[in-house]
Structure 1
Amino acid sequence: MESTEGFLRGATKLNAYDGTRQEPIVPTRLFTDANSEEEWRNAGFYSILSGQNAQASLLYRMLALGKTHQFKDNSKLPEELDISIRRENQCPTVDTISEYEKSYPLTGMPFAVSGLTDDEFSTISGWLYQGAKVSEDQVELNKNEISSIEEWESYLNQTSNQRKLVSRWLYEHLFLAHLYFDDKQDNTHFFELVRSYSPPGEPISIVKTRLPNSEPEHPIYYRLRLVKGITVHKRHITLLFDDKLKKHIEKLFFTDKWDVDILPGYDYEARANPFVTFSAIPAKARYQFLLDHAEYFTRTFIRGPVCRGQIATDVIRDQFWVMYQDPANDLFITDPKYRKKVEPLLGLPGQDDNLTETKENWDKYKDKRNAYLSLRDHHYQDAPLNWTSTKAIWDGGGNNTNAFLTVFRHFDNASVVRGMVGQVPQTLWWMDFPLFERTYYELVVNFDLFGNVAHQLQTRLYFDLIRNGAEHNFLRLLPRDKRKSVLNDWYRGMGVVKTYFTYAPLDIDIRTEETFSSDDIKNELANRLLTQFSQVNAAGNDPINRCQNQHCFRVSQTDWKQKADSRLSRLTNSSFQEKSGLQFLPELTFIRVKHGDERTVYSLIRNRYHSNVAFLFGESLRYKPEKDSLTVYPGIAGSYPNFIFDIETDELEVFEKSLMEAKSEEAFDALVENWGVRRTHPKFWQIFHDFTQWQREQKPIDAGVFDANRYENL
């Protein structure tokens, strides 16, 4: 429904997101795996438009079903109507739609939300009666965009071995990006970097491999293709692709002299170990490029296709800060002999998806990882570097706010924002180049959405090791005799078992260069980071969530927004132990605060507390709701709002007090009746899309349509 081509393609009974299938399925990527309706029909897709007549089409029947069974305005949906993403979906055809209508009368379109008005239903019905003609989206590029495409395609398709290798590395790192050429231009178009069998100047002949590093059948060219359809926020991960970036690439990758006699191939080993594949490219250039765009790369694996569903996301905490090791203090960058020694040990599992060999493959890569960490500890112990100090943390060159990020988990999805947002989290990650690049390749480049359970299981398990490695790096900044107690706090219960049998041993040998004056060492160090790196902390002092005085608001905002900040700030200082209405809040709530003709928005993020995040299953057994916390983010965080509150500024105080005093479900229901926007609200779509409109006004490049698929029935 996001594009003309998808609309015409129709429906399929295949489930792309299936983590239990024993065999991989044929990919069904729009704009890639087929190019015409006929090809999609041959691939098993069927039309939602055609039938004996307009009223027989699937689209009409589903809309008519929704129109027949409309819900009372702003009422709760019936309990028997399952709206979760884990529901058992049905996929009727023209032949089975009558039976479907009888069995599932409440599941018409739009599904489980405010229905179409009479005028809207009449418009679509009339269009269907007239033959449902759909014209392809015609987009006219401006001269700037055409020129930029030509320049970039020329730049990326230079013929020397060094240029070819760098272009391949860039493609594998940017294939998921929505690229744009000018951040000062209205109506910006976005483009994606693709591999094509046809050269620049000719129509793109897309390379249809499963993964971006799978072997093509013929020589390839790197091309820029327009991103079609509606901009959907969950997949909209942007990167500025301008002349400044081109000059930066030139300086990073080609200032130092280096050679490559034979270009690497695309075999098993080349895909599994990018450190060996791209070893000819200066390591400092590769790492610096990741650092300069850390938010983009972190978003690709936190918001990308891999991070969908509870089992995919329960490997991470609900809120944590991410920082990066300075290249000058990373031995992989500074010591060529060490780098050569450890590169073969940095391969990644998941390439071999043979079910019967899953444990054998996993053990092989886990043993390599452990051997690497043993070598790493040994070399760092003797390293002439002041690396166990906050001076070894990348400072963004003094001005790059990619240096510190905050990740939020929203149960079955996650999001990334710049800066150290919220109260000091339970855990912090400190990523070096091997950790950062392995995370990207394991979860983005080498992740096959259409793969089988063996592939997806190995991917998920390795991310568990990545997280633990980033946590261990941070612990090295703490006193040696205090590290174990902090680690035990992160891995309570059965999590302690994994610290002995699966994770690397905790380093208690290398001494930290940091000094401490209190027993609360983790918070003391976190507050030191906030002070030392304030210049590159995009969240600033975050007065809403870390209010140190009476001014719990952003001083740069107008008076009414400051009052809104201050009022919502009270929620962040409240304990979930107090059994307030906070206990009924979902993971991600959007709030629209209106002041006359103006409005602003906030994201209320519920950070659920777990005794550990070390296991695939049994999350509910590790959940400690009384330790939950709340982060109020001024703006948009996340792509899947679970609920919306719509509040006038003069009612904000009453709302906040009502929420804190709502100690029963009945009291919370009354609050929802007053300010909540339920799925059945008569203005649901206008309010829902106004958050996209607000983002277009504030951050037009990042704006996109939000996904209502996880909107709850409060």
Structure 2
Amino acid sequence: MTIKRFSLTLLILIFSGCATYAGLNYDQLFGKPEVRERTVPVSSPESDFFLSEVKPIIDNRCVVCHACYDAPCQLKLSSVDGIDRGSSKELVYQGTRLTASQPTRLFEDAQTTAEWRKLGFFPVLNEREQSLSGNLDAGLVARMLTQKARHPLPETDQLEGFDFSIDRTQVCPTIEEYDAYEADYPLWGMPYGMPGITNTEYQTLISWLGNGAKMNAPLPLTDEEQSLVNEYEKLLNHDDLKNQLTARYIYEHLYLAHLYFSEVETERRFFTIIRSTTPPGKAVDRIVTRRPYDAPGIDRVYYRLVPVRSTIVDKTHMPFALNMPR
């Protein structure tokens, strides 16, 4: 073996050893990661703090990039489920791919955070020891916010060092890889390529993260909303074949739409129409297929209305009014 080749091999071993040590160090400091229960009752103080203080910041500064199916690193910050799911290194759209990939549609292709971990998603919130230091030092969101605070964008007329192109190479570090990421890209804190959040917003988010990032459970329907859901589901699920064909036609044309009850005078809430194995009155059991018109795998399909649990953003918002005249 030549001296040059020996030196190269030694360097590889040293750096791989450092990477391994860095990964083990988090385990030694804060224990092994495990999925945490973050949702709390809607009526709790933690839920109120998230909905009134934290969510407005995320909606105002984060979801503009992190709301779509192909959000950077597949990190969808537009919902509780998306925040807890975390990130993936896999690209959603890849023109050179020759075989079908596993779909990763939020609320569809996995139902729990543990299931998303099995599909390769890694956490952006700390899943190790739930302590103040653990939540801030071993959580990606906290680290990226702090990085931005330490390294604000330079005051310049022409911003350099950022790639905003659609086909850019994505860099999606895990917490074990984060020290190297920060060293290589000191200006790439979050929000990426944008002005930093205010100090008040930063303190709000850090307080939330440090206390375990608790978030609200799904918001319940009002009595009026539930009554209308029952009415429309009954309309969509008669047993005669003509009605079943009509319901299928409606579903295949409106499955991407955000439905709302235009005759309700309270704050507007949106719904989506889905296929379920269960009839109205029972818990929804979503039928998941790659395409909405693919064979459902069962003899009888029921069409159900489920509330939208993500922040509404213009680029995916297709409202459609439901009312008796229509």
Match of 2:210 among 115, 124, 129: 129
Report if the CA contact (8 A) 1:48-1:59 is conserved: yes
- Report the counterpart of residue 85 of structure 2 in structure 1: 9
Alignment of 1:408-487 (within 5 A): none
Q: Does 1:80 align with 2:161?
A: yes
Match of 1:145 among 192, 216, 225: 225
- Report the counterpart of residue 174 of structure 1 in structure 2: 254
Q: Does 1:21 align with 2:103?
A: no
Match of 1:107 among 185, 188, 196: 188
Deviation sequence 1:100-159 (CA, Å, 0-9, x none): 111111211011111022222222222222222223242x32333222211111111111
Report if the CA contact (8 A) 1:207-1:216 is conserved: yes
CA distance in 1, matches of 2:153, 2:240: 64
How far did residue 72 of structure 1 move? 4.5
Q: Does 1:63 align with 2:140?
A: no
CA distance in 2, matches of 1:144, 1:121: 38
Q: Does 1:211 align with 2:287?
A: no
Match of 2:276 among 196, 205, 223: 196
- Report the counterpart of residue 121 of structure 2 in structure 1: 45
How far did residue 184 of structure 1 move? 6.3
Point out where structure 1 has 5 or more consecutive residues left out of the alignment.
246-714
CA distance in 2, matches of 1:107, 1:192: 36
How far did residue 166 of structure 1 move? 1.3
Equivalent residue letter for 2:145: L
Alignment of 1:491-502 (within 5 A): none
- Report the counterpart of residue 96 of structure 1 in structure 2: 177
Equivalent residue letter for 2:224: N
TM-score (normalizing by structure 1) = 0.33
How far did residue 209 of structure 1 move? 0.6
Q: Does 1:36 align with 2:112?
A: yes
TM-score (normalizing by structure 2) = 0.71
Describe the SS at the equivalent of 2:225: helix
Equivalent residue letter for 2:196: G
CA distance in 2, matches of 1:31, 1:134: 17
How far did residue 77 of structure 1 move? 4.6
- Report the counterpart of residue 711 of structure 1 in structure 2: none
Deviation sequence 1:564-595 (CA, Å, 0-9, x none): xxxxxxxxxxxxxxxxxxxxxxxxxxxxxxxx
Describe the SS at the equivalent of 1:244: coil
Count of residues paired in the alignment:
243
Report if the CA contact (8 A) 1:71-1:77 is conserved: no
Deviation sequence 1:254-295 (CA, Å, 0-9, x none): xxxxxxxxxxxxxxxxxxxxxxxxxxxxxxxxxxxxxxxxxx
- Report the counterpart of residue 160 of structure 1 in structure 2: 240
Report if the CA contact (8 A) 2:153-2:187 is conserved: no
- Report the counterpart of residue 645 of structure 1 in structure 2: none
Alignment of 1:317-466 (within 5 A): none
Describe the SS at the equivalent of 1:205: coil
Deviation sequence 1:605-631 (CA, Å, 0-9, x none): xxxxxxxxxxxxxxxxxxxxxxxxxxx
CA distance in 2, matches of 1:62, 1:164: 50
Equivalent residue letter for 1:157: N
Larger RCO (CA within 8 A; separation ≥ 6): 2
CA distance in 2, matches of 1:184, 1:149: 12
CA distance in 2, matches of 1:78, 1:235: 29
Report if the CA contact (8 A) 2:272-2:308 is conserved: yes
Equivalent residue letter for 2:84: L
How far did residue 185 of structure 1 move? 2.5
How far did residue 42 of structure 1 move? 1.1
- Report the counterpart of residue 604 of structure 1 in structure 2: none
CA distance in 1, matches of 2:253, 2:246: 11
How far did residue 183 of structure 1 move? 5.5
Q: Does 1:237 align with 2:323?
A: no
Equivalent residue letter for 1:123: T
Deviation sequence 1:65-122 (CA, Å, 0-9, x none): 111111256x435323222223211010011111111111121101111102222222
What is the root-mean-square deviation in Å for CA atoms of aligned residues?
A: 1.7
Report if the CA contact (8 A) 1:5-1:136 is conserved: no
Instruction: Classify 1:144/1:135 alpha carbon distance in 2 versus 1 (closer, same or farther; 3 Å).
Output: closer
Describe the SS at the equivalent of 2:203: helix
Larger radius of gyration: 1
